């Protein structure tokens, strides 16, 4: 049975997530294929924490057959309404799949929401003998733009549950502590309107923790500084993806 609270955080911000979260660059999937020593084309991939389907659609676009798994009813409904194929509402710590069926189990921005040990054992159970586990996270690359570093620093002051590059203890999730992985950083650049950048902000779990009035006030304050950083309403945002691949 799915615990009632599981997936609820993102269900509150599913529309913003669906509309404005960034996708992933081609270079990520090239690095994934290289480190996993396999082609995504034709592979059976379990996309754990698939959410609204950003990762699912990107994997499908590269020829993968994807089973999308997520406990969030609202998140998953966005994925289904876009016709993403096989979707199962379930906890990724207890995958509703037989042993030894998948070529790849992946966690796109999601592994840190699961039990670190149980999730990896569960992934190993459903993988074929040659199967691989991959996890990745998109983050703002604050080292490449002062305006972005300033924005993250102000956000860290305004949002009590903020977790990101401006937090003193921030680091990539510790999958390398439980799985022997090869790691890559993939850099890319996102062009995004200020409106969509702020909608993306609203889709983060630390924003979902605020009451609506607090969230509106925070977004209003940050809009003031971002308007000055944009050119004709568009921000050029340096991004980087941390990728970890192991067995
Ligand atoms: C940040 S979103 C990532 C969505 C998508 N993979 C992407 O690339 O945008 C994290 C997702 O993990 C899901 N999640 C949280 N706990 C989970 C669990 N125990 N098992 C599977 N998914 C979980 C949430 O419901 C949410 O949709």
Nearest CA to ligand 1 atom 22: 49
Q: Is 71 domain-assigned?
A: yes
Give the CATH number of the domain where residue 33 resides.
Answer: 3.40.50.150
Ligand 1 lined by 92 (C-beta under 6 Å): yes
Q: Is 156 domain-assigned?
A: yes
Q: Is 2 domain-assigned?
A: no
SS3 content of the chain, % helix, strand, coil (to 5): 40, 25, 35
Ligand 1 lined by 35 (C-beta under 6 Å): no
Domain, as residue range, for 210: 8-246
The CA 184 to ligand 1 mean position distance, Å, reads 21
Q: Is 17 domain-assigned?
A: yes
The CA 106 to ligand 1 mean position distance, Å, reads 11
Q: Using alpha carbons, select from 224, 222, 52, 23 the residue that is nearest to residue 138.
A: 23
Q: Is 226 domain-assigned?
A: yes
Pair 6, 91: CB distance under 8 Å: yes
Q: Using alpha carbons, select from 180, 197, 240, 175 the residue that is nearest to residue 27.
A: 240
The CA 226 to ligand 1 mean position distance, Å, reads 28
Q: Is 3 domain-assigned?
A: no
How many domains does one find in the chain? 1
Nearest CA to ligand 1 atom 10: 110
Ligand 1 lined by 11 (C-beta under 6 Å): no
Residue 157 DSSP SS3 = helix
Q: Is 31 domain-assigned?
A: yes
What's the sign of the alpha-carbon dihedral 189, 194, 200, 202? positive
Q: Using alpha carbons, select from 193, 162, 199, 212 the residue that is nearest to residue 17.
A: 199
Ligand 1 lined by 246 (C-beta under 6 Å): no
Q: How far is CA 130 from CA 56, 97, 120, in A?
A: 21, 17, 15
The CA 177 to ligand 1 mean position distance, Å, reads 20
Q: What is the pLDDT along the chain (247 residues), one digit of tens a residue?
A: 455 566 678 998 999 999 999 999 999 999 999 999 999 999 999 999 999 999 999 999 999 999 999 999 999 999 999 987 899 999 999 999 999 999 999 999 999 999 999 999 999 999 999 999 999 999 999 999 999 999 999 999 999 999 999 999 999 999 999 999 999 999 999 999 999 999 999 999 999 889 999 999 999 999 999 999 999 999 999 999 999 999 9
DSSP secondary structure string, 13-32? THHHHHHH-----HHHHHHH
The contacts of residue 44 (CB under 8 Å, 6+ apart) are 64, 65, 67, 101, 102, 103, 104
The CA 232 to ligand 1 mean position distance, Å, reads 34
Q: Is 69 domain-assigned?
A: yes
């Amino acid at each position: 049975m799915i615990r009632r609270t599981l997936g609820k955080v993102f269900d509150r911000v599913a529309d913003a997530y669906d509309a404005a979260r960034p996708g992933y660059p081609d270079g990520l999937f090239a690095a994934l294929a290289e480190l996993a020593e396999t082609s995504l084309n034709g592979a059976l991939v379990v996309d754990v924490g698939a959410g609204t389907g950003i990762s699912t659609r990107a994997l499908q676009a590269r020829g993968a057959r994807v089973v999308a798994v997520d406990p969030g009813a609202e998140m998953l409904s966005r994925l289904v309404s876009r016709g993403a194929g096989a979707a199962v509402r379930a906890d990724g710590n207890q995958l509703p799949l037989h042993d030894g069926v998948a070529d790849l189990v992946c966690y796109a921005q999601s592994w840190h929401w699961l039990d670190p040990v149980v999730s990896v054992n569960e992934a190993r159970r459903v993988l074929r003998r040659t199967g691989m586990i991959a996890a990745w996270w998109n983050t703002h690359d604050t080292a490449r733009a002062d305006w972005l570093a300033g924005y993250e620093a102000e956000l860290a002051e305004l949002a009590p549950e903020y977790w990101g590059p401006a937090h003193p203890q921030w680091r990539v999730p510790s999958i390398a502590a439980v799985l022997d992985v090869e790691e890559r950083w993939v850099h890319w650049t996102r062009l995004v309107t200020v409106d969509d950048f702020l909608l993306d902000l609203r889709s983060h779990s630390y924003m979902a923790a605020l009451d609506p009035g607090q969230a509106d006030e925070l977004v209003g304050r940050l809009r003031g500084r971002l308007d000055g950083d944009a050119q004709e309403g568009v921000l050029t945002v340096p991004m980087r993806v941390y990728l970890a691949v192991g067995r």
